[in-house]
């Protein structure tokens, strides 16, 4: 016999699966474009160096190269952090939605609380990873 909880659970699984698939699709479309866009920012520096060299000057400055590398890595890390942050916020919303429709079922309530908890842990990990990457990048480019 099919119960109302079973139907709600099936609907929630389909909604969750669709959201995950759509987020993966959006990230697979947007992320390469964002990374290529950040890498394209480095080309004016190399174009300028090519012009300076053609005029007989020298452009082999290590400080300029380090600044360009640091800017590219920082921009890529920021893009990835925004994507992960958006996914975590969506997971918090999904966890809240699951909590509201759980109807007091202990298994559903526990799953919803776990979803929210893991999303918050993900946000904390992203925060600390940004701090660690900034520290390592600062030391590597000195």
The domains of the chain are located at 4-140
Mean pLDDT computed over 26-37: 58
Could you tell me the pTM of the whole model? 0.54
8, 87, 88 from 11: Cα distances, Å: 5, 21, 21
Q: Which residue has the higher pLDDT, 85 or 57?
A: 85
Which pLDDT value is given to residue 24?
63
Query: Which tens digit of pLDDT belongs to each residue from 69-114?
Result: 778 878 888 888 888 888 888 999 999 988 998 888 888 899 889 9
In angstroms, the CA 67 to CA 141 distance is 8
């Amino acid at each position: 016999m099919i119960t109302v909880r079973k139907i709600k659970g099936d609907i929630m699984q389909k909604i969750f699966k669709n959201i995950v698939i759509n987020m993966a699709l959006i990230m697979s479309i947007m992320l390469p474009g964002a990374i290529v866009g950040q890498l394209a920012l480095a080309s004016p520096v190399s174009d300028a160096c090519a012009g300076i060299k053609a005029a007989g000057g020298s452009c082999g400055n290590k400080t300029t190269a380090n600044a360009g590398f640091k800017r590219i890595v920082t921009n890529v890390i920021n893009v990835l952090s925004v994507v992960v942050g958006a996914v975590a916020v969506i997971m918090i919303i999904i966890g809240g939605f699951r909590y509201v429709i759980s109807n007091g079922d202990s298994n559903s309530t526990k799953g919803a609380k776990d979803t929210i908890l893991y999303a918050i842990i993900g946000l904390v990990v992203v925060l600390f990873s940004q701090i660690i990457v900034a520290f390592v990048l600062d030391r590597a480019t000195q």
